[in-house]
Structure 1
């Protein structure tokens, strides 16, 4: 733990110094940056990579818009494996949700990358709230989370919830909801949000936990009911829906971020230049508006803030994953 904290302090301190002179050790502006993203094109995180990437052009960091390369598979791990061995000169970044760096170390005995030794935080880019929604398989009388738990307890054969992947943050939110309240909820893992949402709407499964933005269209159309969201405050995209904390489940409050990483040995001044360019892009109205369309809240950070958050989430999710009892082999 001491080593981890020391590394975070070193990263943050070096980045802070470099931020004062972001081009001090940047020999020349990078011609073009490649952004690796470990999930399919068209997904919410892909929108972050593309919208931010195109706004990097003309910055002190890079001359041109970034090129996004989708590397889907293995729950996002492939992109980070590639980043680990990429040139440490700022020419390659990866975008990932924090689950890949803060939760996966707890569920994979042999993770092919070490988030602290192989990856360097650059900037948080966007935040998502997860949501719990039910479909037509659940009676209309179920209007909140406590109603849903009561129904699930009375209907164990139908009490299921989907998530976008086994080992994902939504998987654990649903599992903890059941465990903490003495209700058995059968987990149904999908490959991404959309197939699961489709099955909820079609009455194939009772409910789903996934990024709340993926529910909004069907929720507004009355095809499913969004019972709760996981943020500290209500989602700006569904302000009529109370949070899990408001409904008596504060321990499930979760705001998952997408963040940019560089290879570990990238110079601090290069990371500072990348951070400055990414932060400027995230603050543009066009980027904020385009991310809102897919249910994401644009949010920038310093290198140190991202490193602290990564560590805090790592420490938070360790005992929770153990409580659920899930590993990649289970």
Structure 2
């Protein structure tokens, strides 16, 4: 049996080598593309670019990777682009886990299968989410309970933006409203940046976004972060209490950005991409620049990322059912 397995593995390797000649010669690619599904200026874009800049000069790619933003449909367009890309290792997807672990619960039909159409490469960064308010909300509102009281007294203005319908920040705010009997109206955007811009402009009361997407404006005094979703206060907003500290432990969650390759990408190409990402994440400039966006640089093995995706898929099913949200709702 062992001899037969060895023969099969050798034959498979030989077949892969003939189909993908770079496997035999281990030549790094000239150009690698990283696709993300959100506009410039947000955390997905920042994660893509900071890591892309430091991937060059590795066994995976000679040059820095090229980032392409494909915003729209809550990140699903980017997923479809990468699903349909050649499985040769030259195209990667950078996405929050929402698109892979939450969307299957809210879309009756997706144009991609999170498991069958992609190969996990590496987690890239960890993030928390934040509830922030803008100038439409009085300065006297300093806590989540203050905000809920204001929202109940001002139902016409009680709206919140999120980077996408069905995203983790959308569901955190939806749970907050559901669990407290507060009618918070959801306004989905194509990424956090335009939502935060409207909040600063006074046409939107609040936002539920990745913490980093509100961080610079919070520090500048243009918006106020009222809570974060971390188990402990984040190092980026130590002055801001968590949801749990304010009596909402069910809103404790942490999300990751991760890299995927199209299905059938050869395992050693995935390994080379993983190594290049790991090297980039060790660079102090990358760690520091991600921190400016409220992100913690964090790599992983493909296997660990796959397990985390599966765990989150199982965790979010009951939550989505409780909220009652579907793509048609």
Aligned partners of 2:222, 2:50: CA distance in 1, in Å?
A: 30
- Residue 171 of structure 2 corresponds to 172
Residues 199-208 or 304-313, more deviating: 199-208
Aligned partners of 1:122 and 1:261 also within 8 Å: yes
- Residue 115 of structure 2 corresponds to 116
Aligned partners of 1:25 and 1:269 also within 8 Å: no
Question: How much does 1:153 deviate?
Answer: 2.5
Ranges in structure 2 where 5+ consecutive residues have no aligned partner: 1-21
The within-5 A match list for 1:122-271 is 122-271=121-270
Aligned partners of 2:73 and 2:190 also within 8 Å: no
Q: 1:42 to 1:139 in 2, by over 3 A?
A: closer
Aligned partners of 2:157 and 2:205 also within 8 Å: yes
Residues 95-104 or 28-37, more deviating: 28-37
Question: How much does 1:216 deviate?
Answer: 2.1
Q: 1:26 to 1:275 in 2, by over 3 A?
A: farther
Aligned partners of 1:26 and 1:270 also within 8 Å: no
- Residue 68 of structure 1 corresponds to 67
User: TM-score, normalization: structure 1?
Assistant: 0.87
Question: How much does 1:111 deviate?
Answer: 0.4
Q: How far does the alpha carbon of each residue in 1:113-157 deviate from its partner, in whole angstroms, 9 at most, with x for none?
A: 101011010001112211111223323332211222223233333
Question: How much does 1:278 deviate?
Answer: 0.5
Aligned partners of 1:26 and 1:269 also within 8 Å: no
Question: How much does 1:64 deviate?
Answer: 2.0
Q: How far does the alpha carbon of each residue in 1:274-305 deviate from its partner, in whole angstroms, 9 at most, with x for none?
A: 11111111111011112122222211111122
- Residue 278 of structure 1 corresponds to 277
Runs of 4+ in 1 over 6 A off after TM superposition: 23-26
- Residue 297 of structure 2 corresponds to 298
Residues 93-102 or 262-271, more deviating: 262-271
Aligned partners of 2:188, 2:87: CA distance in 1, in Å?
A: 35
Residues 148-157 or 205-214, more deviating: 148-157
Q: 1:220 to 1:51 in 2, by over 3 A?
A: closer
Aligned partners of 1:75, 1:171: CA distance in 2, in Å?
A: 11
- Residue 5 of structure 1 corresponds to none
Question: How much does 1:26 deviate?
Answer: 7.1
Ranges in structure 1 where 5+ consecutive residues have no aligned partner: 1-22
Question: How much does 1:322 deviate?
Answer: 1.6
Question: How much does 1:27 deviate?
Answer: 4.3
Q: How far does the alpha carbon of each residue in 1:82-111 deviate from its partner, in whole angstroms, 9 at most, with x for none?
A: 222222222221111111111111111110
Aligned partners of 2:37 and 2:77 also within 8 Å: yes
Q: 1:39 to 1:202 in 2, by over 3 A?
A: closer
> What is the aligned residue count?
308
Aligned partners of 2:115, 2:75: CA distance in 1, in Å?
A: 17
Aligned partners of 1:156, 1:284: CA distance in 2, in Å?
A: 47
SS at structure 2 position matched to 1:215: helix
Aligned partners of 2:58 and 2:276 also within 8 Å: yes
